[in-house]
Structure 1
């Protein structure tokens, strides 16, 4: 059952989403800060951040099936609070390479806490009266947050050291905890059954396919995007030009969330689920192979937006296949699983086949996503009770 919520509830979910996703916004600063200021090796910096992401995946995977059987507000607030305390403790650690022994377990604990909060925020969004639209708008909020972070935090890190980044993370998680304590919405009876009709029950058994498509999308994004700057340098593009492209990308990312919300009833989610991976593969091949700057720049600017736009439609589709909120509650696990694997897979491909291999690997992953969407469409149309207006 979907549930209308007020402005306060939507604001709380938006702030919770922003807090839980700030790690993805600040990832380049995070890795860079650990290497430059804490003098971590690339391996130690990567392992440290990966421990956080794995914590998010584990928490989301564990909590998603329990979404309708736990006190959601309490667990959300507790999760963000744990993450805030962990990041605060990180900020107090000495800024040197010896801090790895303390920072690594604190990152894992923070990931578990943030994953708890973000998972239940996404599950609650999936239980609202219009999950597609709300998910599009919270992604707009994250894009705004990304611009603010890149405008303010690098200068603060230069002046006060990398521990400032952990203070910013702690403040974000604390704000998320406070917002959810005050305004986390009631999205229905936690004990309410998933659905009373058999047709809905059959559709809920199909949710693994769009979940796998989301993993494919995020795997491709992290696999290719992690090397965007290095690809530009290898092609001889100026560092200033590449940086300008990345700044432009931040502003372009403001568009796909609202655009997806506006197009909700104008385009089928299945059509977007098919077109999105194809578009992503074409962009990946272009940016990894282009020898001229304009096609490279255009592909980079659009690459992340393609994922945001497609994922918004898939999130709305999941909320209809499984109105209980359990599938959407697993969103952090889907996203972070692909994000964890992508850089490592990309590094292996670059070592063996060069940067151009990233584009073809992305094409192969996208082909898997397309096959899954075609199968999902066929099975939905095969159900006599399928809502063709919603799914076809």
Structure 2
């Protein structure tokens, strides 16, 4: 099955039906259900081919490791150093398709191989930093995702890398296209969460940048606005009440105004933002209850409905639609399946959690809101 990962679609073929994508999905399913039987052959394939003369085989080698990282997570523990060697070497490959696959695999490792992968931060973080300057936007985007997944739980281990990471991310945020800005903001949030009080010297600059995103109103910009709202909440939690209380009102006002834009993901992230602010301000958050409680109730009362899951080849995708780097950029989005878990359910979950935080931190002031 692994050799099929080398068989990418031609430009005139439907990449959704390409052998490499189908093979990745099958291998992933097998890894989740039969990890003991899958990990050995995949590791052997990767070890044999990660220096293959044909770049498609090098790409397939690192892709295969990323694909099975969720299902075979327990089996990776004893072989993680060996697997990281393959992926980090591929991240420096001269071929973009190989670097793209390596950044995908590293993101999967960062998400599914916690906490074991954190002990390798001294080798992983410098490689991610280099990948953030890759000429390929695809590699950059996947590297932001890998950085976000990797850094969130690093704690004080991130401190030696904090300055170069933030400098690189801020520069990228100022100069990147919108889709990269969204994943870049996720990475900034993870770095802030890990750094906590050490993030204070960078908070003002980051918060000032978030202001610009939190006033965007065009439909195509609302995902970025949602990410910015999330980042402000994370930064506020990191640096604390003393430094945030006086400067929060305009951010809260912008967050409330976002509910008039009819975008579920923005509402979801805004409820998370309000949860963070309630935790920071504690009983001082009472002044905002008349404004935010009705918004939370409104989200809780939404009809779940059902949603058509659209597979957009140009979107941020940490699954298998982005396995190969030479997919046709002109692919049309396709209907993948009808999903019971909709964005509305995520919004309702965030709103419910927010209500709990409001009651917990404002205590008796919440009594008028049964």
Fold similarity call, TM over 0.5: no
Q: When the two structures are superposed, what TM-score results if normalisation uses the length of structure 2? A: 0.28
Q: When the two structures are superposed, what TM-score results if normalisation uses the length of structure 1? A: 0.27
Give 1 or 2 for the bigger CA radius of gyration: 2
Which structure has more relative contact order (CA 8 Å, sep 6+)? It is 1
Larger helix percent: 1
